[in-house]
Chain A
Amino acid sequence: MKWSKVLILLLIIALVISAAVLSVAPVFDQNKTLGKYLPLVKGINLGLDLQGGVHVVFEAHDTPEAKVTPDTMKQLKAIIENRVNGLGVSEPIIQIQGERRLIVELAGIKDPEEAVRTIAKTAYLQFITEDGKTVVTGADLKDAKEGKNQNGENVINIAFTPAGTKKFAEATAANVNKRIAIVLDNQVLTNPNVNEPIPNGKAEITGYATLDEAHNDALLLRSGALPVKVTVEEKRSVGPALGADSLAKSEHAGLVGVVAILVFMLVYYRLPGLIADFALVIYTLIVLAVYVGLHVTMTLPGIAGFLLSLGIAVDANVIIFERLKEELRTGKSLRSAIDAGFKRGFTAVFDANVTTIIAAVVLYYLGTGPIKGFAVTLIIGILASMFTAISMTRWLLHLVAAANISKNPKYFGA
């Protein structure tokens, strides 16, 4: 045995194991001087199917009043952005797709259905007199805020723009002792009596059961009415309960699958199998770091993609080890057999992986939402697996060979 090589080997093992533990477990959670420590896995964004959320595709339609143009689409996007921000969602995705579609993705919301309801409302506000004339609209609003009035009722306080103030003052002056209905999307919110002219451009909408309801409507009024008619063409909403359920189940399944691979490799390939298992741990760490670094959003199909890429990573090792066995059988020394095994095995690994990447790239460009996530993890996985197989595993095998722990090629599967 060469003790210097053995020492290096032990050092690497200790390093990788501690890196692995630190990546998944919050070891220093309680540490006061270093602050709160978050393991690597906590840095991975969870997709809406794993934490609850919603993916909506809106389609804008032409109406006699408003045609869909690039400008109205931009306006639509801005208004929806405002509404989404009001919901307090972190990192929402809002993008225009094609000429008349808008995609909205919100992750981590408690009630995805309620969110869609709020976002998709036209929010066309009108003040209508008893004789049916619209005197002021949402376009005349400057601000709208929820609050409580002197009687403790939930209300929205609205303020008009200067032009709106003038219109509202004239309308109230002309309708003293009559009613002016406040109507949102053809639904009467409140129908108060005008006691006296209101010249200061302020009004109050009453009739909300909860402050939350008032908050939602105030948000809609502030962000303004949608410029065109909008329908929901596609909606995938996942409740937080299902998200948590999916996450727990796939973690469990992943663990069982990985352990099965590790045991199989160890039993079938012995010492190289142990090295491959170790390389697989390194591979997993690299992949997780790439996910965090590239801000990959992990979805349920993404987890499946990650697990399948483990299979590919193992495959690279299997191809090379089978080659190594053959080379040993021809009577080559351990070291030259390792080199020959990698050299010859690699063309197979490379060509085979390129074809899989072709399938994954096509999937990425033509797939939607979660399926894109699957393609991304698969591509990252394949690239990382080629890297670890040719660099890590090879280097480790050489190190083990040089450490001379055993000269018996039987341990290398021959």
Chain B
Amino acid sequence: MFHFVKLRKIWYIISIAVIVPGIISLMLQGLNLGIDFTGGTIMEVRFDKAVNVQDVRNVVDSLGIEGSKSIQQSGDRDYIIKTKALSQEESDKMFSQIQDKLGKATLMRTDLVGPVIGQELAYKALLALLIAAVLMVIYITIRFEFKQGIAAVAALLHDTLVVTGVFSLLQIEVDMAFVAAILTIIGYSINDTIVIFDRIRENLRSQKKGETLEDLVDKSLWQTLARSINTVLTVIFVLLALYFLGGSTIKTFVLAMLIGVASGAYSSIFNASPLWVDLKLLDKRKKLQTAKV
């Protein structure tokens, strides 16, 4: 058995080691923004008979659409074609050309996002994160204390950075579902943190003389550990099932959730509560200093 709080420097170092590469990547190459934020058209096509990537590319190139294009194979006979935002006529023409030259196909989906809407969605996403964080600090301050609110939000920031960092490093495309995933991760992670804080709150009421804050928090963490692990496991079962069986449309969402839930479990055990201890100790030292002066 080990002491969660006394070893906190190690946990902080692990967190920093995970986050820093992500931050560097975010600064250097940023996120691979999908059409939800940049604007553009996505067309998913399923051919009746298998076709070659190069053939699809040739047809799309022949249409003279300017700007960047990407063509991905997403299944045996499925292709995802991304272009700048196309008008209805342009996308109709693209699909009919594809059918004329490559054989019968089914239009699985088309997404069109105009550049204005894209900017709005990006703005709304950031706004949502900010509002959620502020509301949570307020709630925790009411039910617990302000310092715990700060520690909890620091843990949330940790999780957000881990997930966006991984997505930046691997250059996985982010869309609106990614934002939903981040918000859900925040919800889950704070959920874990609160359960631990709840136990600390309860143990504080029966705190014995001579029991240090470090020991009390360590005790609380051990007491809630089984729950923390079991809950994450059940969520991960569901997410793994969704990831492997749930179809391509929600893969990004589920992947972000998987990384985030794991990070959330880590941060609520190894970051939030030890951080709160540090904040408390810092406060104590300040008071001692002012007393001496």
Contact = CB atoms under 8 A, between A and B. Distances in A.
B195 A352 contact: yes
Contacts of B202: 344, 347
Contacts of A359: 132, 136, 183-184, 186-187, 190
- State the majority secondary structure of interface residues on B: helix
Contact of A301 (B194, B223, B245, B253): B253
A181 interface: no
B140 interface: yes
Contacts of B9: none
Nearest to A255: B241
B249 A49 contact: yes
A360 B187 contact: yes
B245 A253 contact: yes
B5 interface: no
Interface string B105-126: 0111111111011000100110
A60 interface: no
B139 A355 contact: yes
Contact of A311 (B88, B199, B238): B238
Contacts of A304: 242, 246, 250, 253-254
Contacts of A117: 88, 92
- State the majority secondary structure of interface residues on A: helix
A242 B136 CA distance: 38
A274 interface: no
Given A233-B117, A348-B195, A358 B230 contact: no
Contacts of B253: 301, 304
Given A304-B250, A304-B253, A355 B233 contact: no
Contact of A353 (B144, B186, B191): B191
A362 B131 contact: yes
Contacts of A301: 177, 180, 250, 253
A264 B226 contact: no
Interface string B229-264: 011011101111110111101100110010000000
B276 interface: no
Interface in A162-178: none
Given A233-B114, A356-B190, A307 B238 contact: yes
Contacts of B132: 358-359, 362-363
A234 interface: yes
Contacts of A310: 238
Contacts of A352: 190-192, 194-195, 198
A330 to B, nearest CB: 13
Nearest to A242: B108
Nearest to B254: A304
Given A301-B253, A358-B136, A239 B116 contact: no
B135 interface: yes
- Chain B, interface residues (CB within 8 Å), range: 35 or more
A354 B139 contact: yes
B128 interface: yes
Residue with the highest number of chain A CB atoms closer than 10 Å, among B139, B234, B241, B257: B234
A367 interface: yes
Contacts of A49: 249
Contacts of A344: 202
A249 B231 CA distance: 25
Contacts of B46: 241
B47 to A, nearest CB: 12
A138 to B, nearest CB: 21
A360 to B, nearest CB: 6
Given A353-B191, A355-B139, A355-B187, A232 B230 contact: no
B24 to A, nearest CB: 28
A311 B235 contact: yes
Residue with the highest number of chain B CB atoms closer than 10 Å, among A347, A355, A378: A355
A239 B109 contact: yes
Contacts of B246: 249-250, 253, 304
B180 A234 contact: no
B159 interface: no
A250 B244 CA distance: 10
A23 B125 CA distance: 37
5 contacts: A239-B109, A250-B242, A250-B250, A319-B195, A359-B187
Interface of B: 44, 46, 87-88, 91-92, 95, 106-114, 116-117, 121, 124-125, 127-128, 131-132, 135-136, 139-140, 143-144, 176-177, 179-180, 183-184, 186-188, 190-192, 194-195, 197-199, 202, 223-224, 226-227, 230-231, 233-235, 237-242, 244-247, 249-250, 253-254, 257
Interface of A: 49, 57, 59, 112-113, 116-117, 120, 231-239, 241-242, 245-246, 249-250, 252-254, 256-258, 260-261, 264-265, 268, 300-301, 304, 307-308, 310-312, 314-315, 318-319, 322, 326, 344, 347-348, 351-356, 358-360, 362-363, 366-368, 371, 374, 378
- By Cβ-Cβ distance, the 9 closest A-B pairs, closest first, are A359-B187, A257-B241, A249-B247, A253-B245, A257-B238, A356-B187, A260-B237, A348-B198, A253-B246
Given A314-B231, A362-B183, 12 more contacts: A112-B110, A117-B88, A241-B106, A245-B247, A252-B245, A253-B244, A253-B246, A261-B234, A355-B139, A355-B187, A355-B190, A371-B177
